[in-house]
Amino acid sequence: MHALFVNVLKYCSDKLERRLVKLKKDIWDNKDEPYIKSFLEFLKSYEIDVDNLDEVDEYDITIACCEYYKDNKNEEHPQRFLKHIKKVGSYSASVMDIVNCACKEKYKPLFSCIDLHLLEPVHVNQPISPWKDIVTKFIPNQKNLEEFKKNCLENSETKKRLYEIYGGIGRQLDHETTNHIYLHAELNILTNTDILSKEHNEFITVSKKCCYLCESYINFLRSKGYKITVSGTHKKLYHRWMLPDTYEEFVKNVLCDLDEIIESGIGRYTKITAKSDSDGESADSDNPKGKYFDMMRRVLKGAKKN
């Protein structure tokens, strides 16, 4: 059990750090607001040095955020701030729920014989074609192309995404770039383990719902007779998604689908929208304060020593 906790904490640490950056920015940008002052006072009650948040152990902050969200989720604080609190707190909430489940008598036999396999992340550097070249395939008319570009850059979300991909929104859009792309967790499991079966249903659950392309890949495997169940899906597309190289047939099919999506999106000046894939993450653990909270702190302290 201890090994499981240590590996969960280690595996999630990079994601937690990125979430903490957003929360700290909220604090620094709104330090004079009453809700920020109240939150900092709450952190002090957990013996967290609010004057040196960059030096504070991230595990202590996630525990405090979990408890703060339970008490304040219905307060009239800015939703963006509460969302960041919830996401940071979800880290410890999830592990506390594992502790709670493992301590139940009927689940003890299952947790006592867990076979834990750690998969290495799969990531590569992928060349990205110039934005102009991609869009020109669908809008060959130069005047219409410029109008479309103008509309894209007037949309703050689209502008932000283009900046993330190309490193700028000027001449950068006319040049090839390179992005670091990743094989999503569910596809890492499917392509780098031997769980695929046409006889037994395999259930895969990850911290987020399956994105559009992961869902497409799983549906492709189902069409080949494999039995796979996932915990949920959404219709988001991610530009840093990595294609698995297991089936060339899938690659051909999904590229055709993406061309249709791009063409449809350009034609309607819209994008695919869906419920956030992170909505399933909860900082509001079912565990009561007290026993399991204290246990969580002991587990985290023990994990940090290893």
Domain-located, residue 291: no
Domain-located, residue 296: no
- Domain carrying residue 211: 185-273
Domain-located, residue 126: no
Residues in the chain: 306
Domain-located, residue 306: no
Task: Say yes or no: 237 and 168 in one domain.
Answer: no
CA-based nearest residue to 205, from 181, 229, 223:
229
Task: Say yes or no: 83 and 1 in one domain.
Answer: yes
Domain count, the chain: 3
Task: Say yes or no: 72 and 40 in one domain.
Answer: yes
Domain limit, last residue, from 59, 81, 110? 110
Domain-located, residue 28: yes
Instruction: List residues bridging with 210 in a β-sheet.
Output: 233
Task: Say yes or no: 220 and 257 in one domain.
Answer: yes
Tell me the pLDDT of the chain (306 aa) as tens digits. Answer: 566 666 666 767 777 888 899 999 999 999 999 999 999 999 999 999 999 998 988 888 988 999 999 999 999 999 999 999 999 998 888 777 877 887 888 888 877 777 777 788 888 999 999 999 988 988 888 888 888 898 889 988 889 889 999 999 999 999 999 999 999 999 999 888 888 888 888 888 887 789 988 998 999 899 999 999 998 888 888 888 888 876 777 887 777 777 777 777 776 653 433 344 455 455 665 555 544 445 444 544 454 455
Report d(CA 220, CA 162) in Å as an integer: 30
Helix, strand, coil share (%) of the chain residues, nearest 5: 60, 5, 35
Q: Quick check: 16 and 58 in contact, CB under 8 A?
A: yes
Contacts of 220 (CB under 8 A, 6+ apart): 247, 249, 250, 253, 254
Q: Quick check: 233 and 210 in contact, CB under 8 A?
A: yes
- State how beta strands 202-204 and 228-230 pair: parallel
Task: Say yes or no: 163 and 267 in one domain.
Answer: no
Report d(CA 227, CA 224) in Å as an integer: 9
Report d(CA 268, CA 262) in Å as an integer: 10
Check residue 72 and give its pLDDT.
94
Check residue 295 and give its pLDDT.
46
Check residue 177 and give its pLDDT.
95
Task: Say yes or no: 92 and 11 in one domain.
Answer: yes
Task: Say yes or no: 23 and 105 in one domain.
Answer: yes
Check residue 272 and give its pLDDT.
37
R_g of the chain, CA atoms, integer Å: 22
Task: Say yes or no: 138 and 81 in one domain.
Answer: no
Instruction: List residues bridging with 203 in a β-sheet.
Output: 229
Domain limit, last residue, from 55, 78, 110? 110
CA-based nearest residue to 61, from 79, 73, 51, 49:
49
Task: Say yes or no: 98 and 144 in one domain.
Answer: no
Check residue 291 and give its pLDDT.
47
Task: Say yes or no: 89 and 64 in one domain.
Answer: yes
Domain limit, last residue, from 121, 150, 175? 175
Task: Say yes or no: 171 and 204 in one domain.
Answer: no
Q: Quick check: 192 and 119 in contact, CB under 8 A?
A: yes
CB burial class (10 A; 0-12, 13-18, 19+) of residue 202?
middle
Task: Say yes or no: 205 and 162 in one domain.
Answer: no
Q: Which two tokens stand for residue 187?
A: 């596809």
Domain-located, residue 118: no
Check residue 283 and give its pLDDT.
60
Report d(CA 89, CA 285) in Å as an integer: 9
Q: Which two tokens stand for residue 236?
A: 């988001």
Check residue 284 and give its pLDDT.
61
Check residue 273 and give its pLDDT.
36
Domain-located, residue 120: no
Check residue 70 and give its pLDDT.
92
Report d(CA 262, CA 271) in Å as an integer: 9
Instruction: List residues bridging with 128 in a β-sheet.
Output: 177
Domain-located, residue 289: no
Q: Quick check: 86 and 73 in contact, CB under 8 A?
A: yes
CB burial class (10 A; 0-12, 13-18, 19+) of residue 8?
middle
